[in-house]
Chain A
Amino acid sequence: MVDWGIPIGAGIAFGLGAVGTGFAQSKIGSAGAGTIAERPETFGYMVVLVAIPETLVILGFVVSAMMIIMLK
């Protein structure tokens, strides 16, 4: 019988990380767009700030990958 527990857990770990990243990036992105509209010289900083929440989804991916690989 197939054990669905591990893939579902991995999916949750990755999915919630992605949702968190999307939420954070939407907020930072809109504020960043506003800032760049007024001060174009801040473009570089804004790219970095928008990219920071990516760590959430990367961590989620790493955790889900570890679950699939190590809990076989």
Chain B
Amino acid sequence: MATSVNYGYVNARIRGMKSRLLGRELLESLILKPDTDAIITELGKTPYREEIEKAAVQHAGLACIEVALRMDIARTFRKIYSLFKKEMDEKYARILLNRWDVHNIKTILRGKNIHEPSSEILGCLIPAGQLDEATLVELVKQPDVRGVIDLLATWRIIYSLPLTQHFKEYSEKRDLAVMEYALDKFYFAIALDTIRGNTDDDRIMREMVATEIDVTNIRSVLKMIRDRIPIEEAQEFLIPGGAVLDEKRLVLLVKAGTIKDAMKQLAGSPYEFLGQVPEETFKQEKISVFEKELERFLIRKGTGWFFGDPLSIAIAIGYVWAKFTEVTNIRIISRLKMADVAEKIIREELVYV
């Protein structure tokens, strides 16, 4: 079924933007740089030049790279949003980019929950959604979790709804997972509701969102097994609407009791790779290893859309994930270089698309 978006124009622009993404050779040359200043100089020769020059006025070293990357990704994703807005069909762009709003709010709440310094929290944010950098800075300035939620409610940002509803439960249990789950559920419910149609774009978006739901649910299952959460309580934290894993199958995963047994049950599904991590990961119950594998899976799935229908939303999905991966890779390189980590380990941490 046809859509109102002129994909010929929009996707040509997105493809043009993709041609400016940094290749593997450039990432390799960044890895081989001796220090952060050399990385800044190298980035100054790439499409990041403008942002690097702006950031260098006020910041130096790692902070300069972080600020430049934040400015660049915010500008890029805002551009994509405006392209779709001009085409009068920005609902897909909204779903794609609001994912980072949820990520940012969760990061701020986590930071405030453990009283992290504002600069640390700010460094972990990706201002790629509808909440711009100024909004995020104001949120980070709030003294505690309550302050963040109150400010979101004052600005009538929709994400304040699930947070306000579950704040009492959070206060009683002092468990941030309650609010994080509510936020995820709220975002996915809105996303799935928006793309209920029968167009090809709706179908593509549904597939991507459903995969993200699966990944979120697997993460929750892993944490629940590790923390020995009772099955009755665990059921409350599962998000409906996954692509492969329905609620019944997720409950069986939780019931497996150990991470190894749960991951064995994923055999035959697209998440089979989780059962192939090193043996000690199962014994030590290192959730971070599984989370990293799931993140890689999501990135590959997301960037893979770039080879989908050239006159559909697939190109935008592919680009958004490719850009996010590039920024993440540069962040990883600059931070690990700062910490003087070996080049071999840096290469292992990167995701090439």
Residues of A within 8 A of B (CB): 27-28, 30-35, 37-39
User: Which of B8, B15, B16 is close to A27, meaning CB atoms less than 8 Å apart?
Assistant: B8
Q: Specify which chain A residues have a CB less than 8 angstroms from the CB of B10 in the assembled complex.
A: 34
Q: Specify which chain A residues have a CB less than 8 angstroms from the CB of B12 in the assembled complex.
A: 30-35, 38
Interface size class of B (residues with CB under 8 A): 10 to 19
| Structural contact, B17 and A34, CB atoms closer than 8 A | no
| Structural contact, A39 and B8, CB atoms closer than 8 A | no
| Structural contact, B16 and A37, CB atoms closer than 8 A | yes
User: Which of A28, A30, A33, A35 is close to B15, meaning CB atoms less than 8 Å apart?
Assistant: A35
A69 to chain B, nearest CB (A): 38
A56 to chain B, nearest CB (A): 18
| Structural contact, B19 and A34, CB atoms closer than 8 A | no
Q: Mark B15-56, 1 if CB is under 8 A from A, else 0.
A: 111011000000000000000000000000000000000000
Question: A-B pairs with the 3 shortest C-beta distances?
Answer: A38-B16, A34-B12, A34-B13
B46 to chain A, nearest CB (A): 16
Report the Cα distance A57→B255, complex, angstroms. Answer: 69
| Structural contact, B16 and A35, CB atoms closer than 8 A | yes
A31 to chain B, nearest CB (A): 4
Q: Specify which chain B residues have a CB less than 8 angstroms from the CB of A37 in the assembled complex.
A: 13, 16
Report the Cα distance A25→B227, complex, angstroms. Answer: 61
- Closest B residue to A38 using CB positions: B16
CB proximity to A under 8 Å, residues B145-174: none
Report the Cα distance A34→B17, complex, angstroms. Answer: 10
Report the Cα distance A4→B20, complex, angstroms. Answer: 57
Q: Specify which chain A residues have a CB less than 8 angstroms from the CB of B19 in the assembled complex.
A: 38-39
Report the Cα distance A31→B12, complex, angstroms. Answer: 5
B11 to chain A, nearest CB (A): 7
A-B contact pairs, 6 of them (CB 8 A): A30-B6, A31-B8, A34-B10, A35-B15, A35-B16, A37-B13
Q: Specify which chain A residues have a CB less than 8 angstroms from the CB of B6 in the assembled complex.
A: 30
Q: A33-B9, A39-B19 are in contact. List 10 more A-B contacts (CB 8 A).
A: A27-B8, A31-B11, A32-B12, A34-B9, A34-B11, A35-B12, A38-B12, A38-B17, A38-B20, A39-B16
Report the Cα distance A66→B8, complex, angstroms. Answer: 36
| Structural contact, B16 and A30, CB atoms closer than 8 A | no
- Closest B residue to A33 using CB positions: B9
Report the Cα distance A30→B311, complex, angstroms. Answer: 12
Report the Cα distance A32→B12, complex, angstroms. Answer: 7
Scoring A30, A33, A38 by chain B CB atoms within 10 A of each residue's CB, the highest score goes to A38
Report the Cα distance A36→B261, complex, angstroms. Answer: 54
- Closest B residue to A46 using CB positions: B12
- Closest B residue to A39 using CB positions: B16
| Structural contact, A38 and B8, CB atoms closer than 8 A | no
Q: Specify which chain A residues have a CB less than 8 angstroms from the CB of B8 in the assembled complex.
A: 27-28, 30-31, 34
Report the Cα distance A28→B15, complex, angstroms. Answer: 14
Report the Cα distance A13→B15, complex, angstroms. Answer: 36
Report the Cα distance A12→B15, complex, angstroms. Answer: 38
User: Which of A27, A28, A38 is close to B13, meaning CB atoms less than 8 Å apart?
Assistant: A38
Report the Cα distance A15→B41, complex, angstroms. Answer: 58
- Closest A residue to B83 using CB positions: A34
Report the Cα distance A68→B9, complex, angstroms. Answer: 40
A32 to chain B, nearest CB (A): 7
A10 to chain B, nearest CB (A): 32
A59 to chain B, nearest CB (A): 24
- Closest B residue to A34 using CB positions: B12
Report the Cα distance A34→B10, complex, angstroms. Answer: 6
Q: Mark B174-186, 1 if CB is under 8 A from A, else 0.
A: 0000000000000
- Closest B residue to A27 using CB positions: B8
- Closest A residue to B17 using CB positions: A38
| Structural contact, A30 and B13, CB atoms closer than 8 A | no
Report the Cα distance A33→B11, complex, angstroms. Answer: 11
